[in-house]
Structure 1
Amino acid sequence: MAFIKINRQNFFHNLNQFALKCGSKDKLAIVLKDNAYGHGLELIAQLSAEFGLTQAVVRHYKEALQIKPYFKGILILGDRACVDTHCSFALNSLDDILKAQKGSNVELKVDTGMHRNGIAINELEHALEQIEAKGLKLKGVLTHNRSADELSSELFWQNKQFEEVKRRVQAYGYTDIRFHSFNSASALRLPCEQEDLIRLGIGAYGYNELPKIYNHIELKPVLSLWAKRVAKRQLKKGERVGYGGQFIAPNEMTVSTYDLGYGDGWMRSNSMNPFMTAEGLPMLGRVSMDYIVLESEKEEVCIVNNALEAGKQVKTISYEIVTLLNPHIEKVID
């Protein structure tokens, strides 16, 4: 079967780079949603704890249940709040407050400009009143920056918005809770002193989607995707490969099928223009559900070792390349 190698040394290197930038690893919360960005939920949780991280962020409560042994605290971004001393739940709307179980640990998300999730700033005091009335335990206030990975002034504008949110929440009486807005890109661009928590996502896995001006911190890709040979055959000139016979052999050649396809999360759309693997081999013909074809006789080939570069080939971002990978793909620590 196809498999993924996780480079422990590169992962620890990335975490250390952010710990140095932010002053302490205690500020870092590893984002593990969507199977740890395709890297493996429990495996990355284990490595994060080994490094010394104590906080994590996930999307669903069931993910938190899987990784509880590794962390002191877990923030859940997208589930109904329930009572669990180990977890806090993001409140993304006023309705979330009404649905939350009394006694739950919660963190209020405020919309400072992304207009996706979070209460409006003009609803802030009303939301705080509702949290108190419902008997919820407010542990934090957060927002999400919409343009941190772009060369623009919008990040500074949103920071000003969040500073006002923080002032009003503290004026209301909440002075001992945490406030956080920074993701990986924000932490690379700005000083981290004002933040109580850094939600470290794609940066931990080795990617920086910022313009080159912000490449002053070296990050190293953690994941590499490999496929194993299934069969080998000789093609004559003019013979066609795969569904629709899209690839036509220009001469006699030796090709092999490898056990990776769109069923594993490798996009079929990658067939339209031949994708070049990390070893410089073009994929021949269309991607099938379970197979690709390469001009190679090797037992194993590396398909991707840098999702940022792979994404450029198919006009997408590193996030999509790694998060589409099927969780069933075996993972090994390299």
Structure 2
Amino acid sequence: MNRPILASIHTEAFRHNLNRVRELAPESKIWSVIKARSYGHGLEAALRGLESTDGFALLDIQDARWLRDRGWKGRILLLEGLFHQNELAFAQELACDLVVHCENQIQWLEDFHSKGAKPFNVFLKMNSGMNRLGLNPELYKLAFHRLHALGCHMHHMTHFANADQVDQSPTVGAQLECFNGMIADIAAPTSLANSAAILWHRNALGDWVRPGIMLYGASPTGSYQDIEHAHLQAVMHLHSEIIDIQELRKGDRVGYGGRYEAPEAMRIGVVACGYADGYPRQAKDGTPVWVDGGASDGSGLICPLVGRVSMDMMTIDLRNAPQAHIGSRVELWGAQVPVDDVAQMSGTIGYELLCAVAPRVAVEIK
């Protein structure tokens, strides 16, 4: 038999979360962001669960090819545009929309157009204050008109640096003011809001929203408490089993380095999951793990991590779950344990954990 660790991907949760986006941004169309293998969930599951989206947004043009080969006829947005000029013909063959964020990309399109190519749908990106990708505001209007002159179907776009500040960050207002000021006399559809803006800055949505992490049921801030009100559902449930139980005496130590010392006689459950599966090695003692309590209703109990996570195993305190036994099912994150709670105990964010699940972990699409 295979090791019992399994990542279950729930397509109904995808559908639920997409519907929540529609409820929060009812006047906007939706680019569902599926970069990084759909945040570690896999393109196949995303295509199944998010098939009612208005379009998919991604980075790798080969992922666009994958979608087309599987029958997706809707829009596809390349979020960073093209990385090489020789990809333009391929992007046109796949009917991709392009983000354009720099002078080189504009020149590529001008050269491509001079050879008689059809114009693209373009989302011209403005650097309104994040200082990552995008044209500086003083260059933006000229760039817009150059691309419009090629016949490109134009859209305005920017990205917020601090929309994940739930207290209505003034930085969002400053970026929005910059953006709106530059496009005031250039009519075109807009795209502004990522997951954080959809949740907390709905005065800054635009005609196209770009939800990413909220589609997967995790928090843009890294704190699950911040999204409880949004009633999102975890799409990935990472499960495993207890494969051994150790009986400890007071003072016994657990795992590499003996980080955890038993305060009393206790049982320790050994779980088939380690950092080679993508679980964070830096997880602290007390990180929550859900253990099936054996009840007919499927209820379980939270048992804290104790000791250092090793390559293939981790250890949990079973004092809260006296009925736990070898073979008891555990959830590392999912419906019972928010991935953001594990991430907070590990000094990172849920995004990283979802994206880092290792290829050796079996995946089941439900």
**TM-score bucket of the superposed structures, by smaller chain:** 0.7 to 0.9
Structure 1: how far apart are the matches of 2:252 and 2:229?
49
Q: Residue 308 of structure 2 aligns with which residue?
A: 286
Q: Residue 28 of structure 1 aligns with which residue?
A: 30
Structure 1: how far apart are the matches of 2:146 and 2:310?
52
CA shift for structure 1 position 65? 2.1
CA shift for structure 1 position 48? 0.4
CA shift for structure 1 position 311? 2.8
CA shift for structure 1 position 77? 1.7
Give the conservation status (yes or no) of the 8 Å contact 2:124–2:157.
Answer: yes
The amino acid of 2:24's aligned partner reads K
The amino acid of 1:46's aligned partner reads R
Give the conservation status (yes or no) of the 8 Å contact 1:22–1:193.
Answer: no
Where does structure 2 lack aligned partners over 5 or more consecutive residues? 291-300, 319-323
CA shift for structure 1 position 157? 2.5
Is the aligned partner of 1:275 residue 2:287? yes
Give the conservation status (yes or no) of the 8 Å contact 1:258–1:293.
Answer: yes
Task: Decide which of 154, 178, 203 is 1:161's aligned counterpart.
Answer: 178
CA shift for structure 1 position 20? 2.0
Structure 2: how far apart are the matches of 1:169 and 1:31?
27
Identity percentage over the alignment? Answer: 25
Structure 2: how far apart are the matches of 1:141 and 1:90?
10
CA shift for structure 1 position 322? 2.1
Cα offsets for 1:87-137 (capped at 9, x unmatched): 12222222333455724734221111111111101111342355468x683
Q: Measured at CA, do residues 162 and 188 of structure 1 come closer, stay the same or move farther in structure 2, by a change above 3 Å?
A: same
Mapping for residues 300-311 of structure 1, pairs under 5 Å: 300-305=329-334, 306-311=338-343
Structure 2: how far apart are the matches of 1:10 and 1:194?
23
Give the conservation status (yes or no) of the 8 Å contact 1:55–1:74.
Answer: yes
Q: Residue 82 of structure 1 aligns with which residue?
A: 88
Q: Which moved more, 1:272-281 or 1:59-68?
A: 272-281
Is the aligned partner of 1:200 residue 2:211? yes
The amino acid of 1:144's aligned partner reads H
CA shift for structure 1 position 34? 1.5
Give the conservation status (yes or no) of the 8 Å contact 1:109–1:118.
Answer: yes
Q: Measured at CA, do residues 136 and 321 of structure 1 come closer, stay the same or move farther in structure 2, by a change above 3 Å?
A: farther
Give the conservation status (yes or no) of the 8 Å contact 2:17–2:216.
Answer: yes
Give the conservation status (yes or no) of the 8 Å contact 2:197–2:205.
Answer: no
Structure 1: how far apart are the matches of 2:344 and 2:226?
19
Q: Measured at CA, do residues 220 and 153 of structure 1 come closer, stay the same or move farther in structure 2, by a change above 3 Å?
A: same
The amino acid of 1:82's aligned partner reads L
Q: Measured at CA, do residues 46 and 328 of structure 1 come closer, stay the same or move farther in structure 2, by a change above 3 Å?
A: farther
Structure 1: how far apart are the matches of 2:97 and 2:79?
9
The TM-score with structure 1 as length reference comes to 0.83
Q: Measured at CA, do residues 328 and 76 of structure 1 come closer, stay the same or move farther in structure 2, by a change above 3 Å?
A: farther
Give the conservation status (yes or no) of the 8 Å contact 1:254–1:297.
Answer: no
Q: Residue 320 of structure 1 aligns with which residue?
A: 352
Q: Residue 297 of structure 2 aligns with which residue?
A: none
Q: Residue 321 of structure 2 aligns with which residue?
A: none
CA shift for structure 1 position 197? 0.8
Task: Decide which of 2, 5, 10 is 1:7's aligned counterpart.
Answer: 10
RMSD of Structure 2 on Structure 1 (CA): 3.1
Give the conservation status (yes or no) of the 8 Å contact 2:159–2:193.
Answer: yes
Q: Which moved more, 1:230-239 or 1:197-206?
A: 230-239
Give the conservation status (yes or no) of the 8 Å contact 1:189–1:214.
Answer: no
The amino acid of 1:143's aligned partner reads T
Structure 2: how far apart are the matches of 1:323 and 1:149?
19
Structure 1: how far apart are the matches of 2:24 and 2:148?
36
The amino acid of 1:22's aligned partner reads A
Q: Measured at CA, do residues 304 and 282 of structure 1 come closer, stay the same or move farther in structure 2, by a change above 3 Å?
A: same
Q: Measured at CA, do residues 231 and 315 of structure 1 come closer, stay the same or move farther in structure 2, by a change above 3 Å?
A: same
Cα offsets for 1:149-169 (capped at 9, x unmatched): 211232222222222333354
CA shift for structure 1 position 145? 1.1
The amino acid of 1:162's aligned partner reads F
CA shift for structure 1 position 19? 1.0
Structure 2: how far apart are the matches of 1:90 and 1:240?
54
Point out 4+ residue stretches in structure 1 off by more than 6 angstroms. Answer: 210-215
Task: Decide which of 97, 101, 126 is 1:92's aligned counterpart.
Answer: 101
Structure 1: how far apart are the matches of 2:268 and 2:229?
42
Instruction: Provide the secondary structure at the position in 2 that maps to 1:269.
Output: coil
CA shift for structure 1 position 250? 4.7
Q: Which moved more, 1:210-219 or 1:186-195?
A: 210-219
The alignment covers a number of residue pairs equal to 323
Q: Which moved more, 1:221-230 or 1:191-200?
A: 191-200
Instruction: Provide the secondary structure at the position in 2 that maps to 1:141.
Output: strand
Where does structure 1 lack aligned partners over 5 or more consecutive residues? none
Q: Residue 237 of structure 2 aligns with which residue?
A: 224
